[in-house]
Amino acid sequence: MHAHHPSRRPATDLEPQLGRALPVVLPALLLCDFGHLAHEVQRLETGGAAGLHLDIMDGRFVPQLTYGRVVVEAVRRATRLLLEVHLMVEDPDRVIGEYAGAGADILTVHVEALRDPGATLQRIADHGVRGHLAVSPGTPVERLAPWLEACDGVLVMSVEPGLGGQAFEPLALDKLRWLAARRSSPQQLRLGVDGGVSLATIGPAAAAGAELIVAGSAVVQAADYGAAILDLERRAHAALSGASR
């Protein structure tokens, strides 16, 4: 079994596509007004979002059931922003082609749901999409070690997947630091964090290495999406410049 496949690496680095230096906030659409989806996407784009995070939940891998491919296609029609599609589903291999075809730029799959992470990451790469691994709070980050060269990024869950509104789990910071210390370069392995992100938690997350920072209620429950994104990203960059001094 090969831990990494020389044939994969569809990925160029993300910063040109995101249009600015990392870290960036990726607003999660889960709490948006789905009755006016295109309008919500436009509000986020106009507000300066560098990309969007779409949570796909199947009611089996996680208790909650959310939207599927049709919504991803609708979001892709509404924007040219980077889309990270987070597959919180059993047997994600079955739907990789579906979501790659729907317009995902990043497909994020849970290591807990995979029989052969290397084969899954190769399948994602074969569709010309970036493959990221997600790791849930209860899973030791060391479990990702064999696949760090094979994936384009890691999403550290700072809450249990599948339920919104949970508090940020500080153990995520240790996982981010562990990952940051083991990548050959930031371009080779982009680190993300998802869950409980707020003005209070985004600084420590950024300082620990998070670059693609998923924010749900902190953005879409604010009156002004643009101001919320700007405040969060300023806090993240400030923490980074503080950490480097």
Q: Which amino acid is at 11?
A: A
Q: SS3 for 88?
A: strand
**Separation CA 126–CA 166 (nearest Å):** 35
Q: What residues are paired with 153 via a beta bridge? A: 132, 190
Q: SS3 for 55?
A: strand
Annotated catalytic residues are 55, 194
189 within 8 A of 148, measured Cβ to Cβ: yes
Give ∠ CA 76-80-86 in degrees, rounded to 5: 55
**Separation CA 245–CA 237 (nearest Å):** 13
